């Protein structure tokens, strides 16, 4: 189904506008030339509103909008736990994790591992993250985004992949993180507006024009099982969301790893003006996360009524978009493209940051600042070209794209949580313990996956985390670390938070308590 002229015009206006805005906000004044801190950390001057909206823009992309809506079509509101528990995780990150990174002036997550443990740990994790970002994150965004573009605009899948990838590259290439972060308030505003519109129209259609509330009531009456937040063991989707593990088990590891130790997420916090500014931004992101299921998951459930019997679940959101009236379709389509472009741009910048600051600079430490920026741009181009070529062969046979991402990142999530959490809060942890526990949890995850294929991956993540902690603690106690090896201050960090952060945190917890009580 092709877009009307009005829809195309809206999309073109968005594309031109956001590209020009990105170049303008990231321009350099006078004769100043971009250095590495300007390009990779936005001069460490991001305000709270840019941090909060950029966290959401980096996170919410095609894998959330298209993928989570598809999972909502199959599982219902239970998949919303990823969003709602993320809100609580953000509060934890803002209170206890980010202050340590800012206290130590960290550039990247691998840099923290080097200062805390050893260059070997940094190198292993830098290479791992580059592989994950290119072969899993970039490809999934481009694939799910291309599905939406194909369903709505009739564009060939490979052409859509190329167009989305190249536009995201051009949008972020010159300005780096500043170009991405300072325009994300526009991207997120468009994303939220577009999401509200499609939710409103979808629910109204479910009720045959009787209104949103009537449509919601019809969904809860016709599909009551889709509004169970905690799935029972007899649910066909228990393998993906195993009951209380979403509140007390493996999902915590998934969320803490993602929001606390993931370069393309935490990079916004590292670029903050101050700890207080970063924490205010994190609170903003937490409140937006509370809203996201209403504009991502709920349309997927509505699709059960409006487009039943879909062959692939990830067609749910694009199918709903194809039903929208002229003009509105262009707005929602522009919102989806905005999410894809913002998230892709964030990942490209983080790939460039890690490759340049953790690998190239370690190899050639005397490299000039201007050359580091150039290397970063070259890496950005290379990463998106690779992703464009491999996306379709990698992902064309997968069903629920969101679950694919969660499952495979779950192989390394336990080890990441172990080495960072012990590195942050237990000074006795050694480099050897960190490396061995990381590798051991990956192997153990593979054993679970290979020999217990039906075992819930979230429980797998939880047990592998426990095993990693035991391994790391045992090795550390047997091989005491030399004090001189640690160049990170984890003892003189101020974890006090202001009234605004504290009150906002209480509100987030209260809202979550109500939501889970109502839809238990």
- Section 151-176 average pLDDT: 91
pLDDT in tens, 323-347: 888 888 888 888 888 888 989 999 9
pLDDT exceeds 80 at position 407: no
DSSP annotation string for 10-77? HHHHHHHHHHHHHHHHTPPPTTPPP-HHHHHHGGG-B-HHHHHHHHHHHH-SHHHHHHHHHHHHHH-G
Whether the CB-CB separation of 223 and 363 falls below 8 Å is answered with no
Q: In this predicted model, what pLDDT tens digit does every residue of 20-48 receive, in sequence order?
A: 999 998 887 777 788 999 999 989 999 99
Asked if the model's pLDDT at residue 505 lies above 50, the reply is yes
Rounded to whole angstroms, how far apart are CA atoms 422 and 66? 35
How many other CB atoms are there within 10 angstroms of residue 464's CB atom? 30
Q: What is the mean pLDDT of residues 170-181?
A: 91
Average pLDDT estimate for 245-256: 90
Quick check: 107 and 353 in contact, CB under 8 A? yes
Integer Cα distance of 268 and 101 in angstroms: 12
Per-residue model confidence (pLDDT) at position 395: 74
pLDDT surpassing 90 at residue 168: yes
Residues 514, 229: contact at Cβ < 8 Å? no
* Extents of the domains making up the chain: 5-26+37-400, 410-491
DSSP-derived 3-state class of residue 449 = helix
DSSP 8-state symbol, 182: T
pLDDT at residue number 367: 92
DSSP summary character for residue 272: B
What confidence score (pLDDT) does residue 484 get? 45
pLDDT digits (tens, 9 = 90+) for 80-121: 999 999 999 999 999 999 999 999 999 899 999 999 999 999
Q: Please give the DSSP secondary-structure letter assigned to residue 3.
A: P
Q: Please tell me the distance from the alpha carbon of residue 435 to that of residue 430, in angstroms, as a whole number.
A: 9
Under a CB-based contact definition with an 8 Å cutoff, are residues 194 and 328 in contact?
Answer: no
pLDDT digits over 441-467, tens only? 999 999 999 999 889 988 999 999 999
Q: Which of 256, 338, 317 is nearest to 61 (CA)?
A: 338
Phi, psi of 455 (to 5 degrees): -75, 130
What's the whole-number mean pLDDT along residues 264-270? 93
Residue 403: the pLDDT is: 58
Q: Spell out the CATH class of 5-26+37-400.
A: mainly alpha
Identify the band that residue 492 occupies on the pLDDT scale cut at 50, 70 and 90. confident
- Name which of 416, 350, 412 is nearest 384 in CA terms: 350
Q: How many CA atoms lie within 13 A of 488 on its CB side?
A: 28
pLDDT in the model for residue 329: 87
Burial of 430 per CB tally in 10 Å (0-12, 13-18, 19+): buried
User: Which residues contact residue 346 at a Cβ distance below 8 angstroms, ignoring those fewer than 6 apart?
Assistant: 54, 57, 58, 172, 180, 264, 267
For residue 200, pLDDT beyond 60: yes
Nearest-CA neighbor of 330 among 494, 206, 153, 115? 153
Q: Could you tell me how many residues make up the chain? A: 520
Integer CA distances (angstroms), 303 to 68, 202, 300, in order: 13, 8, 5
Average pLDDT of the residues in 407-430: 90
Does 314 have pLDDT greater than 80? no
Closest residue by Cα to residue 311 from 489, 151, 516: 151
User: Which is nearest to 102 in space by CA: 247, 230, 237, 270?
Assistant: 270
Query: Is the per-residue pLDDT at 246 higher than 60?
Result: yes
DSSP 271: T
CB 358 within 8 A of CB 369: no
Q: Given this model, what pLDDT does residue 497 score?
A: 92
Q: Residue 298 and residue 219: Cα distance in Å, rounded?
A: 9
Beta-bridge partners for 272: 46
Question: Beta-carbon neighbour count of residue 68 at 10 Å?
Answer: 30
Q: Residue 152: what pLDDT?
A: 76
Average pLDDT of the residues of the chain: 90
DSSP 188-254: HHHHHHHHHHHHHHHHHHHTTTS-HHHHHHHHHHH-GGGG-SS--TTSTTTTTS-TTHHHHSHHHHH
């Amino acid at each position: 189904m092709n877009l009307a002229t009005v829809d195309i015009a809206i999309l073109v206006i968005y594309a031109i506008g956001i590209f020009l805005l990105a170049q303008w906000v990231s321009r350099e004044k006078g004769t100043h030339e971009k250095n590495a801190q300007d390009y990779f950390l936005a001069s460490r001057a991001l305000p709270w509103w840019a941090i909060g909206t950029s966290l959401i823009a980096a996170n919410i992309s095609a894998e959330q909008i298209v993928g989570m809506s598809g999972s909502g079509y199959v599982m219902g509101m239970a998949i919303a736990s990823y969003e709602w528990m993320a809100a609580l995780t953000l509060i934890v990150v803002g209170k206890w994790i980010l202050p340590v990174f800012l206290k130590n002036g960290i550039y990247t997550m691998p840099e923290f591992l080097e200062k805390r443990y050893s260059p070997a740990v940094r190198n292993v994790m830098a290479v791992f993250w580059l592989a994950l970002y290119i072969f899993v994150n970039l490809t999934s965004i481009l694939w799910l985004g291309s599905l939406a573009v194909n369903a709505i605009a009739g564009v060939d899948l490979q052409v859509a992949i190329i167009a989305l990838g190249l536009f995201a590259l051009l949008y972020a290439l010159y300005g780096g993180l500043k170009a991405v972060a300072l325009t994300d308030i526009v991207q997120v505003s468009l994303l939220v507006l577009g999401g509200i519109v499609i939710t409103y129209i979808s629910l109204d259609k479910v009720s045959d024009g009787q209104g949103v509330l009537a449509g919601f009531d019809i969904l809860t009456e016709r599909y009551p099982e889709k509004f169970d937040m905690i799935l029972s063991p007899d649910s066909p989707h228990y393998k993906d969301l195993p009951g209380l593990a979403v509140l007390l088990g493996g999902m915590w590891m998934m969320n803490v790893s993602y929001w606390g130790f993931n370069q393309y997420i935490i990079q916004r916090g590292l670029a903050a003006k101050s700890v207080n500014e970063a924490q205010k931004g994190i609170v903003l992101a937490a409140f937006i996360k509370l809203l996201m299921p209403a504009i991502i998951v709920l349309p997927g459930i509505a699709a059960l009524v409006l487009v039943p019997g879909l062959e692939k679940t990830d067609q749910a959101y694009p199918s709903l978009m194809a039903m929208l009236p002229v003009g509105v379709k262009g707005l929602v389509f522009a919102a989806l493209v905005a999410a894809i472009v913002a998230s892709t741009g964030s990942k490209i910048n983080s790939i460039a940051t890690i490759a340049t600051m953790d690998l190239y600079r370690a190899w050639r430490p005397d490299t000039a600042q201007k050359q580091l920026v150039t290397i970063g741009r070259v890496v950005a181009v290379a990463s998106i070209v690779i992703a464009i070529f491999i996306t379709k062969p990698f992902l064309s046979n997968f069903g629920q794209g969101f679950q694919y991402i969660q499952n495979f990142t779950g192989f390394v999530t336990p080890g990441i949580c172990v080495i960072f959490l012990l590195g942050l809060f237990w000074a006795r942890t050694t480099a050897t313990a960190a490396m061995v526990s990381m590798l051991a949890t990956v192997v153990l995850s593979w054993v679970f996956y290979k020999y217990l294929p039906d075992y819930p991956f979230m429980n797998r993540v939880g047990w592998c985390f426990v095993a990693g902690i035991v391994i790391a603690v045992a090795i550390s106690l047997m091989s005491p670390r030399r004090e001189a090896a640690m160049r990170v201050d984890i003892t003189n960090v101020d974890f006090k938070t202001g009234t605004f952060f504290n009150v906002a945190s209480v509100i987030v917890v209260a809202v979550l308590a109500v939501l889970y009580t109502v839809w238990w």
